[in-house]
Structure formats: C-alpha cells, structure tokens
Structure 1
C-alpha cells in the first residue's frame, strides 16, 4: 500500500470535498449523522460499559460511513437497506470487530499510562474520610487529560485509515495499523490543518450561539436552533473522512485494477 504525501492545503480541501459529497445526498447523510448522534447519546445512558461499546464499535461505524460516502461519490442513491451492506460479509465483520477490540485496548492502555504518573496528586484530592476536594481534583486531572490527549493523537493515527484498509483492501490488522500511521505521518501538516479547521468551525458555531444568547434569546431556544446546524456540520465531518482516505490511498485502486 502506497500512501501519497499531500500539501498542507489538502486538509481544507478534504472539508470542501466532504461538503460537496454532503450536497449530493444531504438527507441520507443527515439521517446517518442523526443516527450516530443517537447511538452516542444511548451509550451515555449505560455508564462505563456504554462508552466502551461505543469505542469498540467505532471502526464499524467508520467503515459504514466510508462505504456510504463511496456510494455517493459513485452516484449511487443511499437507500435505507444499503447502510448495513458493508457488514454483510462475515470476514469483514470479524476483522472490524477485532479492530474495534484493539482500539478499545489501546484507549484503555492510553488512559492507564496517562493517569499513572499523576496518581499521587489524584489521590491527594481525597481525604481519609473519602470526601473529595473538587477543586483539587479538577486541578489534578489536568495532567492526565493533557497526557492522554497527546497519546490519543498517536492512537488516532494508528486507527484513522485502518477500517478502510481492512474492509476494502483486506490486509492484516498489523499492516493496516502500520500503513495508517505512515500515511498520517506523511500527511501530518494536512491533518494539522484539517483538525485546526474543524476546531475553528465548531468554535465559530459556539460563538454564534453565545452571541444569539446575549441578544436575549433563551438558551433553550438557541439550543433548539443550533441542533440541526450541529447535525449538518457533523454530517459534513463524516463526509470528509472519505476524501481524506481516497486522496491518500486512491492511487492503489488503479494498481489493483
């Protein structure tokens, strides 16, 4: 698998191309964004285990998203019965489930190693009677959060392209993780621009919400107004995954054909 090395401007182009994909079939991707948000909300109703299931299922959700975007890019209308077609193959399901389990293990390990150096400061926020000093606890948690954030960048690079590499190219998990890491390293500047652009977009939406609230509109009304906007923006985010993958690994398709 050969990964292309792209200029920094590709990060913004992925978002633009994702928006173009969304415009082709907006209702289909709006539906998928809504369903994904629903699954995320349901996962929080089951403390701990719900989040673990969501993390383990992330590669499957990612592969479904990429497959839908590929169908849209090829001009195929996304019908309701097409969403689960990528999972019809038993071997593909097994590989993606194994990838999800590996992703969960990596995330748990990252959380453990991020917390371990700060364990003493975290424990000091709890007195001998078991009472928690919330201010001290919040201060003590900054270190683990920052450390995990740095570790998660590496974890994300390992798993970013892995669902497509496993599902479409049917290569081994270890190879998929390696190719994904190499691809992300070769394109670290585009991914930096990609992440910064999305951070700016979500920040702008929050600023608009705060501005509307400052005009006297109730926070509940603002939340209602922003909900469809957030769903659409999330749908464009999901659509941008496919251009990011195809621009990096697309040359391999011609070689395989």
Structure 2
C-alpha cells in the first residue's frame, strides 16, 4: 500500500469534504451519530466492562461509518438495513474484531505505562485514611493524563486507517497497523491541522454552552438545546474519516463491501 503525501491544507479539506458528504444525505449520518452517542452513553453506564467493550468495538463502528460514507459518496442511498452489511462477511468481521482487541490491548498498555511512574504520588494523594485531598489528587493524575495523551497520539496513528485496510483490502493486522502509521507520519502536518480544527470546533460548542449558562439559562436546558448541534458535529466528524482515507490511499479498494 502506497500512501500519498498531501499538503498541509488537506487537513481542512477533509473536513470540508466530510461536510459535503453530510449535505448529500444528512439524515442517515445524523441517525448514525445518534446511535453511536447512545452506545457511548450505554457503555459508560456499565463500569469498566462497558468502556472495554466500547474500545474493542471502535474498529467495527469506524468501518461501518466508512462504508456508509462510501455509499453516499458514490451517490447510493444509505438505507437502514445497509448499516450492518459491512459486517455480514465472517472473514471481515473476524479481522475487525481482532483489530478491536489489539486496540484495547494498546490502550490498556498505554494506560499502564503512563500511570506506573506516577503511582506513588497518586497513592500519597489518595492516602490510607481520612478524606481524599481532591486538589492533591488532581495534581497527581495530571502527569498520567498528559503521558497517556502523548501515547494515544501514537496509538491513534497505528489504528487510524487500519479498519479500512483490514476491512476492504483484507491485509494482515500487522501490515495494516504499519501502513496506517506510515501514512499518518507522511501526512503529520495535515493531520495536525485536522486535529486542531476539530479541537477548535468542539471548544466553540463548549464555549457556547458556557455562554448560555452564564446568561442565566438552566444547565439542563442548555444541554438539551445543544444536543442536536453536538450530534451534527459528531456526524460531520464521522463523515470526514472517509475523505481522509481516500485522499491518502485512493479509491483502490474492492468494489464489493
């Protein structure tokens, strides 16, 4: 697999192309954003196991998003029954499940590596008796959060293109991770623009919510009013995955999903 090297402006172009996909068929992608939001909420209602299941399912969900955007980009209507079509082939499903477990293992390893050097300070902040000093605990976990954030950038590069490479091209898991890492490294500046742009969008939504509450609006009402906007932003994010893949690897995938 040969990954193209794109200019810096490609990072913003992915977002624009994703918005174009959303405009073609907004309701299917809005529905997908709603469903993924429901799954995320459900996962966090089940302590630990729910989060682990969600992490494992991420390659499956990503591949379903890519296939939906592929249909829309090709001008085909995205119907309800088509969402599960990418997972009906046993070999594709098994490959994506293995990829999901690899993703979970990397996240767990990253969490362990980032937490272990700070374990003594965390235990001192928690203490063996008496109330927990929240300020000391927040300071103690700052280091692990920053370290894991840096490690997660590497993990994300490994797995960013892997669902498409495994699902469409059906190449080995190790090769998919390698090709994904190389593609992300070759396009590190476009991905930086892409990440910063989405960070700015999510920050703007957060600031809008803060502005609404500062003006006297009830917090629950503000969250309700912002829910459709959050769903649209999430849908646009999912739509931008496909242009990022196609611009790097091209449309040289098999015709059948």
TM interval, short-chain normalised: over 0.9
Contact 1:72 1:78 in 2 (8 A): yes
How far does residue 131 in structure 1 lie from its aligned partner after superposition? 4.6
How far does residue 129 in structure 1 lie from its aligned partner after superposition? 2.6
Count of aligned residue pairs for this structure pair: 254
Query: Secondary structure at 1:125's aligned position in 2?
Result: helix
Pair 1:116-2:116 in alignment: yes
Query: Secondary structure at 1:138's aligned position in 2?
Result: helix
* Higher mean C-alpha deviation, range 203-212 or range 172-181: 203-212
How far does residue 42 in structure 1 lie from its aligned partner after superposition? 0.2
Q: For 1:82-113, what per-residue CA distance to the aligned partner results, in whole angstroms no more than 9, with x for missing partners?
A: 00000010000000000000000000000000
CA distance in 1 between partners of 2:186 and 2:39 (Å): 33
How far does residue 209 in structure 1 lie from its aligned partner after superposition? 2.0
How far does residue 220 in structure 1 lie from its aligned partner after superposition? 2.1
The 1:80–1:178 alpha-carbon spacing in structure 2 relative to 1, beyond 3 Å, is same
- Report the equivalent of 1:155: 155
* Higher mean C-alpha deviation, range 120-129 or range 106-115: 120-129
- Unmatched 5+ residue regions in structure 2? none
Contact 1:2 1:252 in 2 (8 A): no
* TM-score between the two structures when normalised by the length of structure 1: 0.96
- Report the equivalent of 1:201: 201
- Report the equivalent of 2:42: 42
Query: Secondary structure at 2:2's aligned position in 1?
Result: coil
The 1:249–1:130 alpha-carbon spacing in structure 2 relative to 1, beyond 3 Å, is farther
Pair 1:16-2:16 in alignment: yes
How far does residue 138 in structure 1 lie from its aligned partner after superposition? 1.0
How far does residue 211 in structure 1 lie from its aligned partner after superposition? 2.0
- Report the equivalent of 2:141: 141
- Report the equivalent of 1:237: 237
Pair 1:166-2:166 in alignment: yes
How far does residue 221 in structure 1 lie from its aligned partner after superposition? 1.9
How far does residue 214 in structure 1 lie from its aligned partner after superposition? 2.6
After TM superposition, the structure 1 = structure 2 runs for residues 99-110 of structure 1, keeping only pairs within 5 Å, are 99-110=99-110
- Report the equivalent of 1:126: 126
